[in-house]
């Protein structure tokens, strides 16, 4: 298998309050609906059951983000959201964010990471499959605009 397009300079860190403007702006440019609001991001920053990750590189402090949810009573973590700045896509930022989400899941004792993706999001689906995610289900009219979803999972 071809190695992932890793940009060596990509670093992933936990989001801080000072990232809120960038988080909200990227959310608005990436998703037409089902968006996380500023208040929701703010809440997740301090939550035990959420992890907001930010990818950065040498001179760029905000290239993309991923949101992971953990719930009590289940060892399945959920990748709720992932987005890379449009001009930074295709350079390994998304892969680095997913790797960090998986590492965080393992660290918390989770045995799997799950996610939902729009059936028409070919770029994201190809990325998940390349990283070892397999399709475990599908949901009709999962999104606010009526789009269907696939559910993917990877063992950690």
Binding site for ligand COA (CB under 6 A): 5, 30, 64, 81-84, 89-95, 117, 121, 123-124, 126-127, 130
Residue nearest to ligand COA (CB): 94
Q: Which is nearer to ligand COA, 73 or 146 (CB)?
A: 146
**Residue placing its CB nearer to ligand COA in the complex, 20 or 121:** 121
Q: Which lies closer to ligand COA via its Cβ, residue 21 or residue 109?
A: 21
Q: CB nearer to ligand COA: give 56 or 95.
A: 95
CB of 95 to ligand COA, least distance (A): 3
Closest approach of ligand COA to the CB of residue 35, in Å: 11
**Residue number with CB closer to ligand COA (92 or 105):** 92
Smallest gap from residue 92 Cβ to ligand COA (A): 5
Q: How far is the CB of 96 from ligand COA (least distance, A)?
A: 7
Q: Can you give the chain as a three-state secondary structure string?
A: CCCCCCCCCCEEEECCHHHHHHHHHHHHHHCCCCCCCHHHHHHHHCCCCEEEEEEEECCEEEEEEEEEECCCCCCEEEEEEEEECHHHCCCCHHHHHHHHHHHHHHHCCCCEEEEEEECCCHHHHHHHHHCCCEEEEEECCCCCCCCCEEEEEEEC
Q: Residues 88, 60: contact at Cβ < 8 Å? A: yes
């Amino acid at each position: 298998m071809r190695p992932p397009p890793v940009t060596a300079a990509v670093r992933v860190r936990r989001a801080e309050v000072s990232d809120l403007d960038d988080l909200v702006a990227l959310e608005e440019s990436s998703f037409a609906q089902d968006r996380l609001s500023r208040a929701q991001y703010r809440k997740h920053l301090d939550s035990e059951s959420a992890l907001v990750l930010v990818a950065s590189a040498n001179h760029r402090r905000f290239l993309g983000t991923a949101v992971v949810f953990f719930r009590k009573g289940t060892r399945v973590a959920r990748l709720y959201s992932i987005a890379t700045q449009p001009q930074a896509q295709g350079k390994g930022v998304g892969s680095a964010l997913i790797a960090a989400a998986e590492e965080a899941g393992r660290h918390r004792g989770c045995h799997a990471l799950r996610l939902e993706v729009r059936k028409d999001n070919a770029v994201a689906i190809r990325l998940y499959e390349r990283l070892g995610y397999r399709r475990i289900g599908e949901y009709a009219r999962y999104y606010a605009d009526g789009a269907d979803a696939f559910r993917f999972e990877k063992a950690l």
